[in-house]
Amino acid sequence: MKLVRLNLFICLLGLLGACASNSDLSRLGDSNTAEERRLLITFTDRSIDRPLPANSLDGYRLRGHYGNSGWSEHIAQELAERHHLKFVAQWPVTTLGVSCVVYEVPDSLPVQQAIAELQQDSDVSSVQQMQSFQVLGKQVAPTQTYSDPYLHLQTGFNALGIADLHRTTTGRGVRIAVIDTGVDTEHPDLQGRIKYSENTAPEPSDHNLADIHGTAVAGVLSAHPNNGIGIAGIAPEAEILAFRACWPEKPNALAAHCNSFTLALALNQAIRMNSHIINLSLSGPEDPLVHQLIEKALTKGIIVVAAVPSQNQSGGFPANIAGVIAVGQENNGNHQHIAAPGKDILTTVPHQAYDFMNGSSFATPHVAGMAALLLQLHPDWKTADIKRRLGNDASTANLLDSSTALASPERTH
């Protein structure tokens, strides 16, 4: 009898673990078909944050992975079987109290029919097609190779008068989550600047995580000043949390893509780790799950800064969410966004190198960095306060009133 019970128990564990063991992370990258056949569904996960007394493994590990419970994996497997879907991946979105699952609709089943059937399922909280996002940067070929300090070539840094601001504030104690591609943490101008990094976009598994776009954004924000090499960052003493949610279109390419699932995982972690600012140098179509997470961040007082696409680029989300600080590289009379330097921006790229970049992708960290400078001096400031100080054109904004800034308390760790 004991042997029978043991066998049944083993079988049950195998059934509950089927989702996890069958995960196919290679399917999380760009879609291989013209029609997006991957769906994201969420369902309420009652196991999130549930106390488990006497369990030595229980505990909220803020900086670690929060895994799926056996219960949530079982529900995910049941949904796959009930609706004839292929399970791809699953992860708990802890800040929303839901489990998020990626499924692929088989070719024999129309995608819209699958969505309609899932919307009628009482176990499902939400269902949507996977959306694709892209970073908003363009690489500029340098006219020559430089080997000397490049501060005089930093057009944005100099236009904003950052060197003068650093006498008063450097962003110390402010946590900025950079949700982008990977960051080369070994770059000599970034060593010690990246306080935490996590990969939420594991496809492709063998890819070098030191991707160009994220490294370039991180350099604008936090490159080490006064170290005798390279460039200086806008907020060099801010704590940068780097989340790899996007992957390059091809090796060594600046252009990169993300999707609903990878962005949701990164946003969830950025919120859990109590970020003060989230930098999103990317854009794409309206996305319900990503929208919900950004709203969650805003309600917690997190300042979200996002790139506005140029006139010849598609998208506009998430910069168009009310409460998000939208940033463009040019002032075209649109008072809905802040114009900041985004042309010929010299910054860090992988393998100890530097390069010039264009695009609102690189205007965005200028504003996120300036927000960090202000937050160090005014820890109680909200998004509205930051926007009021920056105005519509960051290149001419009078960021600091020394009579009030110096008297304000600094943010502490």
For residue 343, give Cα distances in angstroms to 328, 364, 394: 11, 12, 14
Among 83, 187, 207, 213, the active-site one is 213
- Helix (H, G, I), strand (E, B), or coil: what is residue 239? strand
Taking the CA atoms of 52, 54, 56 and 59 in sequence, report the sign of the dihedral they define. Answer: positive
Number of residues in the chain: 413
Q: Among this protein's residues, is 213 annotated catalytic? A: yes
DSSP H helical segments within 36-172, as ranges? 70-83, 111-119, 155-159, 162-165
What is the rounded distance in angstroms from the CA atom of residue 238 to the CA atom of residue 222? 7
Among 69, 72, 361, 366, the active-site one is 361
Q: Among this protein's residues, is 276 annotated catalytic? A: no
Indicate the burial class of 159 (C-beta count within 10 angstroms; 0-12, 13-18, 19 or more).
middle
Per the CB < 8 A criterion, the answer to whether 290 and 263 are in contact is yes
What number of other Cβ atoms are within 10 A of residue 252's Cβ?
A: 11
Per the CB < 8 A criterion, the answer to whether 264 and 293 are in contact is yes
Q: Which helix (H) or strand (E) holds 371?
A: helix 360-377
What is the rounded distance in angstroms from the CA atom of residue 215 to the CA atom of residue 218? 5
Q: Among this protein's residues, is 361 annotated catalytic? A: yes
What is the rounded distance in angstroms from the CA atom of residue 103 to the CA atom of residue 408? 50
What is the rounded distance in angstroms from the CA atom of residue 51 to the CA atom of residue 40? 28
What is the rounded distance in angstroms from the CA atom of residue 377 to the CA atom of residue 391? 18
Structure tokens at 121: 């399922």
Instruction: Kindly report whether the peptide bond that precedes residue 149 is cis, defined as omega within 30 degrees of 0.
Output: no
Among 45, 180, 189, 287, the active-site one is 180
Strand 138-140 and strand 353-358: the pairing is antiparallel
Residue 157 sits at the vertex; the CA angle it makes with 154 and 163, to the nearest 5 degrees, is 120
Structure tokens at 290: 């990503």
Residue 368 sits at the vertex; the CA angle it makes with 399 and 188, to the nearest 5 degrees, is 110
Which residues are known to be catalytic? 180, 213, 361
